[in-house]
Amino acid sequence: MKVSIYNTLTEKIEELIPLEDNLLKVYSCGPTVYDHAHIGNLRYFVFVDILMRTLKNAGYTVYQVMNITDIDDKVIKRSFELNIPFRELSRKYEKLFFEDLKKLKCKIPDKTPRATEEIPTMVKIIESLLKKGIAYKKNGSIYYDISKFKDYGKLSKIDKEQLKAGARVDVDSYDKENPRDFALWKAVKENEPSFDTSVGIGRPGWHIECSAISYKYLGEHFDIHTGGIDLIFPHHENEIAQSEVFCGHKTVNYWVHSEHLFVDGRKMSKSLGNFYTLRSLEEKGYSIDAIRYLFLSAHFKTQLNFTFKSLKNAENTVNNINDFVNRILDAKDGDIDITSQVKKYEEKFFEFLYNNIDITKSLSYMFEIINLANNKGIDNLSKNSLEVIIASFKSFNEIIDVITFESTEIPKKIKELAEKRWQLRKEKNFESADKLRVEIKTKGFVIEDKKDSYIIRKDH
C-alpha cells in the first residue's frame, strides 16, 4: 500500500515514492539535551513514532536516523548556569530523553548520532562551502552568504525582500522576519567548549549538524525529513542551503512538519506555570498510555491543545478500549456474524492512516467496531466475528500500542496474593499488606478495597 503525506516544500499531499526500491530513508531532527523534554517535544516524537509505524505497516522498509544536539547555545548556557561540564549535562538529559521515549513506547531510531561526535563531517562540508565561495570568514567565525543561494527561502516561503546582504546572526535560533547570514562555525569564546579543526578553533553552528549527519548516514539524497513546525525557519531553510550547495542538487524529497502542542490554549512556558514533562504528569498519577493516546489521536497538522480534562478523557478512552478487548476475549460465542463489517472498518482505518496519517479518522472506525459489537451484544457474536475483531484490534495496536490483549480472567496466583493481603489487613498488619498490594501492582493488577470486601482489576 502507498502512503501519502503533506510535503511542506511543495505544500501538497504527495504519494511517497522511495528513491531506492522499497526503502524509505528518514531523517528526524532530534532533541537538544539540556533539560527534560517537555510534552510539546514529546508530541513531536510520538508523531514520528506513528509515522514510522505507519510506513512499516504499509510495507516499506524504513531506515531512520535522528541526531542528538549535545552542543549548541542552549546546552552551553545551561552548563554555565549549573556550573557543570556541558558533556555531563547533555549525557544526563540524553539518557532521560531515551527513557521518556521508551516509556511512551516510541521505537528508537536505527541510528542516533551525537553532534559532538560528527565534527569531521561538519568540517568537510564547511570547507567545501568556503571553496565554493558561498561561505566566508569573519573574526574567526564562518558564515553562510544567503544572498548567493538563489533558492534561499523555498521551504519557509520567506519574503526575499527582507534579506539584508551581509547582515549576520551568531545565535542558533532567530525569527523569520530577520533572515541573515548564519554561522556555520563559531570562533572560540572564553570558557566555551571548542574543537581544534582545519576551519579553526571553535564550535559548529546548530544547522550544520543536521546537514552533516544526514549526509553521512543517509547519503546525498534521501526520502523524508521530519521536525516540528518551528524548525522550518531558520533550521531547515539553512539546512537546505548548506546541503544543496555541498551536494550540488536537491537532497530531501519530502519535508514533514508536525504542529505544536499548547497548554490551555497558550504556549508552554516555565513562567506561565504551564510547563509539563512526562515525569510531572506521571507524578500527578496519569498513565503514560493515556498521554501517548492523547498525543497520537490528534492529526499532526493540527495544533493540540493540552488540558487535564483532555488527558482524563484519553485515560477513559484507553480504559474503554482495553475493557472492550478483554470482554471480547472472554465472550461466549453466539450466532450473529459481523465479520464483513469489521473487515470493512479495519480497511477504512488503514485507508485514512495511509492518507496523510489521518489518525483521528482512523480511530473513528475503531470505535465503529466497538459500537457495532456492543449493539449486537458481545455474547451474541459468532466465534469467527470475535476472532476477526481481535485480529483487527491487534493490527490497530501495531500503530497505537495502548492495548493489552489479556482476558479479564484473574490468574490464580493473583487471587491467592490478594486473599493473603486481605487476611493481613484483617490482622491489622498494614505494612505487609501494602507490600503485597505493590507486588500485585507490579504484576499488572490493582486492588480496590470496599467496605467488607475487595475487588481485583487489571491495571491499565
Give residues in contact with Zn ion (CB under 5 A): 29, 210
3-state secondary structure of 25: strand
- Our CB check for Zn ion shows the closer of 153 and 227 to be 227
Contact of residue 43 among Zn ion, ligand AMP, none (CB under 5-8 Å per partner type): ligand AMP
Grid cell, residue 373, equals 459489537
Nearer to ligand AMP, 74 or 376 (CB): 74
Residue found by looking up cell 472492550 in the block: 324
- For 410, the 3-state DSSP assignment is coil
**From the list ligand AMP, Zn ion, none, which binds 210 (C-beta under 5 to 8 Å, kind-based)?**
Zn ion
Q: SS3 of 453, please?
A: coil
Shortest Cβ 173–ligand AMP spacing (Å): 9
> Taking CB under 6 A as the rule, does residue 114 contact ligand AMP?
no
324 contacts ligand AMP (rule: CB under 6 A): no
Q: Which is nearer to ligand AMP, 67 or 356 (CB)?
A: 67
What is the bridge-based pairing of β-strands 12-15 and 4-7? antiparallel
Largest CA distance in the chain: 84
Q: Is 227 in the site for ligand AMP (CB under 6 A)?
A: yes
Q: Is 221 in the site for ligand AMP (CB under 6 A)?
A: no
Q: In the bound complex, what is the minimum distance in angstroms from residue 155's beta carbon to ligand AMP?
A: 14
Site string for ligand AMP, 47-76 (x = CB under 6 A): ----------------------x-------
Residue with Cβ nearer Zn ion (29 or 261): 29
The piece of 120-128, 227-235, 398-406, 421-429 that touches ligand AMP (CB under 6 A) is 227-235
| Phi, psi values for residue 307, rounded to 5° | -135, 160
Partner from ligand AMP, Zn ion, none binding residue 32, C-beta < 5-8 Å depending on class: ligand AMP
* Cα(228)–Cα(258) distance, integer angstroms: 5
CB under 8 Å to 226, separation ≥6 — which residues? Answer: 26, 27, 28, 29, 48, 51, 256, 257, 258
DSSP 60-119: -EEEEEE-BB-SSHHHHHHHHHHTS-HHHHHHHHHHHHHHHHHHTTPPPPSB--BGGG-H
x/- site string to ligand AMP, residues 11 to 40, per CB under 6 A? ------------------x-xx-------x
Name residues contacting ligand AMP, limited to 249-268 (CB under 6 A): 260-261, 268
| CB closer to ligand AMP out of 135 and 208 | 208
- Choice from 8, 41, 54, 385 touching ligand AMP (CB under 6 A): 41
Give yes or no for residue 231 binding ligand AMP (CB under 6 A): yes
- Mind spelling out the 3-state secondary structure of 201-229? EEEECHHHHHHHHHHHHHCCCEEEEEEEH
Number of H-type helices and E-type strands within the chain: 14, 16
Q: Whose Cβ is closer to ligand AMP: residue 43's or residue 421's?
A: 43
Amino acid code (one letter) for 236: H
CB of 404 to ligand AMP, least distance (A): 28
Quickly tell me which residue has 470493512 as its cell: 344
Site residues (vs ligand AMP, CB under 6 A)? 29, 31-32, 40-41, 43-44, 69, 227-228, 230-231, 260-261, 268
